[in-house]
Structure 1
Amino acid sequence: MAEQIGSEYDSDLPDDDYKGLMELAGTMNAKYSKVDVQRLSQNILKSLFPDFILGNFGWMFAKPFPIFSAKMNAGATFVAGTWLMGECEINDCKVDGDIDDEKSGINQGLLVKRCRFLEESGCASVCVNSCKIPTQNFFMEDMKLPLTMEPNYETYECQFSFGLTPTEEDERQATDTPCLSRCPSAGGLRRKHTSPQSQCQSSVCPQMQNR
């Protein structure tokens, strides 16, 4: 992440890996527009996978075997994502309407019981632009597998539905979520990321003044 955002904080990051991650996420969201944050976050996800997987997963698995691919990715996210998001469980989920098998949604969802990333950031804007939208875009554009993520800003749960394409209504609700009451930026990131002049011409976000 430090490499992607060109962070001058890299050499001074705390020993705790997760605290360092959250500091870099805050830096990225304060420094860039929401479009750039989404692009950089997607690039970070892509950097975690070998090129042969990204270049071939769609035609080898996602297109011919969508149900199997969805279940496989739910399992892989369960194994790899627990450190980032906290306790998870594989569950049933909704799928796109063109998938006829009534059992296709079984065991291809993932429920994050209380998202550590959201709770630690305390910021809906960081959640939407650093996680939800770029992760959905990564799976749809790079893995060729639809994914809808539905964060709950009251319980901090998040439902991953592999095999379900996000709707415009889903995305509108996510981007229209009011700033959380405990947001460390006091709504600064949400105002910056929704302003017509969101190309980060302002001073450092209040979130970063508390570092």
Structure 2
Amino acid sequence: MAKEVGWDSEKPGYEGLIEVANRLMLTGRRSSYTRDAAVRILVSLFPPFLLELYKLLISPLAGGKVAAIMVARVTQVTCQWLMGKCTVNSVDLPGGKSWESGVLVERCKYLEESKCIGICVNTCKLPTQTFFNNYMGVPLLMEPNFTDYSCQFKFGVPAPLPEDDSALKEPCLEICPAASSRRRQVSQGDNTGQCPKA
């Protein structure tokens, strides 16, 4: 992430990660830049041949069920440091089937620490959905809850179009540092900045 941003935090650990994520949000002129950067970060975590082979050989098995269940279990095991406690659960798929391909994040540490819907949506939700769908061949719908900070991953369920995604219509959190700064600017007559959520 620091390489993508061109800057690294001096703060150690998770606090530094959140500071770099904030910087990533603020460096892009558009939220699409931030999302594209986050996808590049995710892709960089894997050897290229691994993603290609997974998409080619694993994703088609059993109509996508094997791949969806596998990534749910790997996500649950490997991502708790980032998101907090999470468990694998059953999700309903279009067409009436149900698979054990969900991951419920009980209280997302990333959202809670960043305090920003824009960071959640533009550096996590949308890029992660794009990454799994485009690079691993596994449809993914992520449903963050901005009230209790939980998040439901639904591997095997396609994400809706942006105009139909309720998470993209949520207003900024009252505790969001970027939104607070933006409200202060507007109250002082400065209308040049833009919330990074947009």
TM-score for the superposition, normalised by structure 2: 0.87
Aligned CA-pair RMSD: 2.2
Matched, 1:146 2:139: yes
Map 1:132-143 to 2 at 5 A. 132-143=125-136
Matched, 1:90 2:88: yes
Matched, 1:156 2:149: yes
Give the corresponding residue for 1:173.
166
SS at match of 2:141: strand
Give the residue type in structure 1 aligned to 2:5.
I
- CA drift of 1:64 comes to 2.5
Map 1:181-196 to 2 at 5 A. 181-186=174-179
Give the corresponding residue for 1:38.
35
Identity of aligned residues (%): 39
Map 1:19-38 to 2 at 5 A. 19-32=15-28, 33-38=30-35
What are the Cα deviations for residues 141-174 of structure 1, in whole angstroms up to 9, with x where unaligned? 0001100000000010000000000123785311
TM-score for the superposition, normalised by structure 1: 0.82
Distance 1:82 1:155, change over 3 A: same
Distance 1:116 1:20, change over 3 A: same
More deviation, 142-151/50-59:
50-59
More strand by share: 2
- CA drift of 1:80 comes to 1.0
Give the residue type in structure 1 aligned to 2:14.
Y
Q: Contact (CA 8 Å) 1:147, 1:161: kept in 2 or not? A: yes
Distance 1:111 1:80, change over 3 A: same
Alpha-carbon separation, structure 2, partners of 1:36 and 1:94: 32
Give the gaps of 5 or more residues in structure 2: 183-191
Q: Contact (CA 8 Å) 1:95, 1:162: kept in 2 or not? A: no
Q: Between Structure 1 and Structure 2, how many residues are aligned?
A: 186
Looking at both structures, which has the greater relative contact order when contacts are Cα pairs under 8 Å and sequence separation is at least 6? 1
- CA drift of 1:96 comes to 3.1
Alpha-carbon separation, structure 1, partners of 2:37 and 2:94: 28
SS at match of 1:108: strand
Give the residue type in structure 2 aligned to 1:24.
V
Distance 1:95 1:170, change over 3 A: farther
Alpha-carbon separation, structure 1, partners of 2:92 and 2:36: 27
Alpha-carbon separation, structure 1, partners of 2:122 and 2:180: 14
Give the gaps of 5 or more residues in structure 1: 190-200, 207-211
Give the corresponding residue for 2:44.
47
Alpha-carbon separation, structure 1, partners of 2:158 and 2:181: 30
Give the residue type in structure 2 aligned to 1:38.
R
